[in-house]
Amino acid sequence: MLLFVGLGNPGPRYAGNRHNIGFMAVEAIARRHDIAPWRRKFQGVAVEGTIERRRVLLLLPGTYMNESGRAVAEAARFYQLGLADIVVFHDELELPPGKLRVKTGGGNAGHNGLRSISGHIGNDYKRVRLGIGHPGQKHLVEPYVLNDFAKSEKPWVETLCDLIADNAALLAEGKDSAFQNKVHLGMAAKGFGEDTEPAGSD
């Protein structure tokens, strides 16, 4: 069993926020691979399914971002999962909008969701870092991530989530570099390259 965790804040108020792109990516995986229905479980909502013969639990914590680790730890204990079985999808200020990087372990770069997860289960889980860009100044970060994506940003957000869903089997098989390259090439083919800019703090 693999655990794919999307990070975000629960409820309609936050649904379109930049901070919720992790939720968006995991929801896209569920749609693309016909994994349903979501049920209340593990202090959030979860659904089990199969991606290329690999059993996967998709989890969206309902604990708010800074307590995400509680939900992840509960699911990991239930299925007796090791850190190598856990993949966390999250927004990344230090990557340009539309860029994606896969890494295992490392620092949390001030991300409260990652900090909470690392505090509960340890640090060496896999992260799929989804670039949203940086507003430029530290004091603008909170309003920036807690604002919705601008209308002009939605095409690249939807394309990125679709490409993640299309290529999720590579991630499930541990082919991280191939997954990352497929998404990168797919974004470039759709015209989302180095010039994709953040829309500011709205």
CB 42 within 8 A of CB 73: no
Cα diameter, the chain: 45
How far apart CA 94 and CA 77 sit, in angstroms, is 31
184-to-130, 131, 152, 159, 188 alpha-carbon distances in Å: 12, 12, 20, 11, 6
Catalytic positions: 19
CB 82 within 8 A of CB 3: no
Q: Sign of torsion, CA 34 184 131 154?
A: negative
Residue with tokens 């860029």: 99
CB 71 within 8 A of CB 61: yes
CB 97 within 8 A of CB 131: yes
